[in-house]
């Protein structure tokens, strides 16, 4: 070797000894320079101090050569010479410390990932879908299908990743189109694509439809929970209760992270005009005349201002003109002129119709324990955390309760997050029980508390590391991923047990120190650990490549097991030897 491996100092003289140095020359060098002991470094780790006799014995045992037993690190030994043994000892332990730091880093990153992972009962099995909701007041289901839904469907054809569309039209004039995309499609990108194609169809839709608005949502089809509002106050009938929920409760819930859609099961207040057909016929009018009169006289008018620039010289007055625009009361609507005759007489809206403030729709009603109520159904957004979203909704409703009118209260009769919470808690309980059983079994067979604790420490480190990878892959904490971890616990400790058992065997048979026994043991079983890890990963990994709904079910299960097994092998090659 050209590079010095062993450094010696006597006074100000620096001596070097090479691994291929013959026995006679090594003895002569140490004797001439009065070297009584040397610092021994192996693979960057401090072994200890060797006396002159021990060095000679090691050289003789190694066939007359210095050999690897007394190989020293140039930098560490130089530091021993310059700044002393304690600092060199500290730096020599850096490599072993790094192994602990890596394990700690895995735990910290995994713990942080747990707080950000969405929690659900099962993985998302259904392909992503976008729901388009529209309304055509007064139209039949057939008219809605022909004039609205079919027009939108024509523009949606050919969208990237589109699998199929499903539309439904109700007799009350409301309809929806569910657009389903291929699994793996980014639902946000799909929503943008649907929005762009809908904008091309909007000019061909009836004005009544565009006035009502067309909604595009990416919420899931199932409901997370229902918030039901009831009233003991006579002033708040079902219509007033629904109007209060729509104006004060629904917007607040929609702002909560994880809420995709808040559907109102009730009705808002609306100005209802009940036309009398007999009176229309008597006056020679039609419903089209009534609609035209309301549209013409119920407008928001911008009247501009008086005295605005440019103004005449001496103009000193400037005023903004405010005029009554849209109508608000029953009396205002009743005064709408439907027809003005040549003789000066007029036919007003109140002459041909009954006008009142009522519900916007009467097609549905809600009840809670037999009492009329107004409900809001919460649908979770894709990728949302079911438990966190439900808890945030409950906290927000508790805050809003303080500002509700007297006699108005709320209840949550249906909450699917309870089933999710119970399922996750049971699986977590099983996970803890499995770790405890594995610990007991290892203690019974290894008969050593130290060698039992070492493989046990690997389990939480590997599992927390798995959570960080799950976050990077976009997975969720669900029953299947946790079930995969439960099954993997018995596999996680295998590699660590092999390392510990082999180190103990070498120490018992050859009488080596824990350090030397660990180095020798790892040289014997490193290949075996890597081999068995590759075999186990090869068993579970193919399930991740299944397509369709089956793939969505097994992908998170298989990858969580494969990743935890890889982490256990990595820790068996790094953390476990350091603990030995």
pLDDT higher at 61 or 480? 480
Kindly state the tokens that stand for 169.
């039209």
The DSSP H or E segment spanning 40 is strand 37-42
Q: Which two tokens stand for residue 500?
A: 């510990």
Distance in angstroms (rounded) separating the CA atoms of residues 560 and 278: 72
Per DSSP, the three-state class of 415 is strand
Task: pLDDT band for 94, please (50, 70, 90 cuts).
Answer: low
What is the per-residue pLDDT for 61?
A: 54
The first and second tokens of residue 468, run together, are 């960080």
Q: Is the pLDDT of residue 489 over 60?
A: yes
Quote the crossing angle between the two packed helices 449-472 and 479-510, to the nearest 10°.
140
Residue 554, pLDDT score: 83
How far is Cα 156 from Cα 151, in angstroms, rounded to an integer? 9
Q: What is d(CA 130, CA 342) in angstroms, rounded to the nearest whole number?
A: 55
Question: pLDDT tens, 456-468?
Answer: 888 888 889 999 9
The tokens describing 419, both together, are: 């089933």
pLDDT greater than 80 at residue 344: yes
Residue by residue, DSSP assigns 73-120 as -HHHHHHHHHH-HHHHHHHHTHHHHHHHHHHHHHHHHHHHHHHHS-B-
Q: How far does the chain reach from its first CA to its final CA, in angstroms? A: 32
Q: What is the mean pLDDT of residues 430-434?
A: 84
Surface-to-core class of residue 161, CB atoms within 10 Å of its CB (0-12 exposed, 13-18 middle, 19+ buried): middle
Maximum pairwise Cα distance, the chain? 139
Residue with tokens 């209840």: 411
Q: How far apart are CA 558 and CA 483, in angstroms?
A: 10
In the chain, count H helices and then E strands: 22, 19
Paired residues of 181 in beta bridges? 162
Mean pLDDT lowest among 71-80, 238-247, 252-261, 571-580 = 71-80
Angle ∠(326,355,139) on CA atoms, nearest 5: 85
Mean pLDDT throughout 279-292?
A: 90
Contact 138, 171 (CB under 8 A): no
CA distance 105 to 563: 16
Distance separating alpha carbons of residues 165 and 129, to the nearest angstrom: 9
Specify the pLDDT at position 57.
55
The answer to whether residues 461 and 104 touch, using CB atoms and an 8 Å cutoff, is no
Token duo for residue 402? 């303080």
What phi and psi values does residue 185 have, to the nearest 5 degrees?
A: -70, 135
Burial bucket for residue 551 (CB in 10 Å: 0-12, 13-18, 19+): middle
pLDDT tens for 395-416 read 999 999 999 998 899 999 999 8
Rounded Cα distance between 171 and 173, Å, is 5
| Sign of the four-CA dihedral 340, 346, 352, 354 | positive
pLDDT of 76 over the 50 cut = no
Element (H, E) at 57: helix 52-61
What is the distance between the alpha carbons of residues 480 and 428, in angstroms, rounded to a whole number? 12
How many residues are listed for the chain in this entry? 580
Q: What is the mean pLDDT of residues 192-206?
A: 91
Q: Strand pairing of 366-368 and 37-42?
A: unpaired
pLDDT (mean) for 246-256? 92
Q: Classify burial at 334, counting beta carbons within 10 Å of its beta carbon; exposed 0-12, middle 13-18, buried 19 or more.
A: middle
Quick one: which of 209, 193, 207 has its CA closest to 156? 193
Least confident segment among 99-103, 167-171, 378-382, 569-573? 99-103
The per-residue pLDDT for 353 is: 93
Q: What is the mean pLDDT of the chain?
A: 79
Q: Are 495 and 532 in contact (CB under 8 A)?
A: yes
Burial 289-303 (b: 16+ CB within 10 A, else e): bbeebbeebeeeeee
In a 10 Å sphere around its CB, with 0-12 CB exposed, 13-18 middle and 19+ buried, how is residue 396 labelled?
Answer: middle
Tell me the percentage of the chain whose pLDDT exceeds 70. 82
Query: Above 80 in pLDDT, residue 96?
Result: no
Is the predicted pLDDT of residue 44 greater than 70, yes or no?
no
Which pLDDT value is given to residue 397? Answer: 94
Residue 523's pLDDT band (cuts 50, 70, 90): confident
Confidence of residue 252 (pLDDT cuts 50, 70, 90): very high
Cα four-point dihedral sign 303, 308, 309, 312: positive
Interatomic CA distance for residues 360 and 430, integer angstroms = 52
At residue 9, the pLDDT reads: 33
State the pLDDT at residue 314: 77
Q: What is the mean pLDDT of residues 10-36?
A: 46
Model confidence band, residue 6 (pLDDT cutoffs 50, 70, 90)? very low
Dihedral sign for Cα atoms in the order 32, 37, 41, 42:
positive
Question: In angstroms, rounded to a whole number, what is the distance separating the alpha carbons of residues 346 and 352?
Answer: 12
Give the pLDDT confidence score for residue 85 in this predicted structure: 40
- Using DSSP, state whether 268 is helix, strand or coil: coil
Q: What is the mean pLDDT of residues 98-110?
A: 82
pLDDT at residue 59 is higher than 70 = no
Distance CA 396, CA 417 (A): 16
322: Cβ contacts below 8 Å, ≥ 6 apart: 303
Tokens of 101: 């730091």
CB 381 within 8 A of CB 236: no
Predicted pLDDT at 245 = 92
Can you give the pLDDT at residue 250? 92
CB atoms within 10 A of CB 441: 13
Per-residue pLDDT reduced to its tens digit, 378-392: 988 877 788 889 999
Which tokens in the block code for residue 393? 């909704």
Bond prior to 147 in cis (omega within 30° of 0)? no
**Alpha helices for 447-478 (secondary structure H):** 449-472
User: Is the pLDDT confidence value at 23 over 50?
Assistant: no
Cα–Cα distance, 312 to 309 (Å, whole number): 9
Q: How far, in Å, CA of 184 to CA of 483, rounded?
A: 23
Q: Categorize the per-residue pLDDT at 53 as very low, low, confident or very high, splitting at 50, 70 and 90.
A: low
Q: Which residue has the higher pLDDT, 262 or 138?
A: 262
* Residue of 456, 580, 574 whose CA lies nearest to 506: 580
- What is the average pLDDT across 127-145? 87
- Is the pLDDT at 1 greater than 60? The verdict is no
């Amino acid at each position: 070797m050209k590079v010095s491996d062993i450094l010696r100092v006597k006074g100000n003289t620096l001596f070097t000894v090479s691994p291929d140095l013959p026995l006679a020359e090594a003895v002569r060098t140490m004797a001439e320079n009065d070297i009584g002991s040397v610092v021994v470094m192996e693979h960057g780790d401090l072994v200890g101090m060797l006396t002159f006799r021990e060095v000679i014995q090691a050289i003789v045992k190694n066939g007359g050569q210095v050999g690897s037993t007394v190989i020293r690190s140039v930098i560490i030994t130089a530091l021993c010479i310059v700044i002393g043994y304690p600092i060199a000892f500290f730096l020599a332990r850096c490599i072993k410390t790094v192994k602990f730091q890596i394990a700690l880093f895995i735990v910290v990153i995994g713990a942080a990932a747990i707080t950000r992972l969405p929690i659900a009962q099962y993985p998302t099995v259904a392909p992503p879908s976008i729901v388009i909701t529209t309304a055509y007041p007064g139209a039949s289901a057939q008219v809605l299908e022909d004039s609205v839904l079919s027009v939108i469907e024509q523009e949606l054809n050919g969208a990237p990743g589109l699998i199929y569309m499903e539309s439904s039209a109700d007799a009350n004039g409301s309809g929806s189109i569910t657009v389903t995309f291929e699994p793996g499609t980014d639902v946000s990108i799909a929503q943008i694509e649907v929005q762009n194609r809908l904008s091309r169809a909007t000019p061909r839709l009836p004005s009544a439809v565009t006035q009502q608005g067309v909604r595009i949502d990416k919420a899931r089809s199932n409901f997370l929970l229902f918030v039901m509002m009831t009233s003991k106050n006579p002033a708040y009938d079902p219509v007033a209760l629904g109007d209060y929920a729509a104006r004060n409760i629904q917007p607040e819930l929609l702002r909560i992270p994880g809420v995709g859609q808040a559907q109102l099961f009730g009705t808002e207040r609306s100005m209802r005009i009940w036309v009398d057909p007999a009176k229309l016929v008597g006056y020679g009018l039609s419903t089209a005349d009534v609609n035209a009169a309301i549209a013409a006289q119920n407008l928001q008018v911008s009247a501009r201002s008086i005295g605005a620039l440019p103004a005449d010289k001496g103009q000193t007055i400037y005023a903004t003109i405010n005029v009554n625009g849209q109508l608000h009361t029953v009396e205002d609507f009743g005064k709408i002129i439907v027809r003005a005759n040549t003789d000066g007489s007029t036919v007003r809206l109140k002459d041909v119709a009954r006008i009142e403030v009522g519900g916007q729709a009467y097609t549905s009603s809600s009840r809670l324990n037999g009492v009329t109520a107004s409900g809001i159904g919460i649908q979770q957004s894709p990728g949302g955390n079911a438990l966190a979203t439900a808890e945030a909704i409950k906290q927000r409703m508790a805050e809003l309760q303080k500002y509700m009118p007297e006699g108005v209260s709320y209840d949550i009769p249906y909450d699917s997050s309870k089933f999710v919470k119970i399922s996750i808690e049971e699986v977590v309980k099983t996970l803890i029980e499995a770790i405890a059983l594995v610990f007991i079994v290892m203690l019974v067979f290894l008969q050593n508390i130290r060698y039992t604790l070492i493989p046990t420490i690997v389990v939480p480190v590997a599992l927390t590391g798995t959570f960080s990878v799950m976050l990077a892959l976009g997975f969720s904490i669900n029953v299947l991923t946790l079930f995969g971890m439960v099954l993997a616990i018995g596999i996680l400790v295998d590699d660590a047990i092999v390392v510990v058992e082999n180190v103990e065997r070498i120490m018992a048979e050859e009488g080596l120190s824990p350090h030397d026994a660990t180095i020798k043991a790892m040289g014997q079983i490193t290949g075996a650990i890597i081999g068995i890890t590759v075999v186990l990963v090869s068993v579970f990994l193919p399930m991740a490549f299944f397509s369709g709904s089956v793939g969505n079910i097994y992908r998170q299960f298989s990858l969580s097991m494969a990743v935890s097994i890889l982490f256990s092998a990595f820790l068996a090659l790094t953390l476990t030897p350091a603990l030995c």
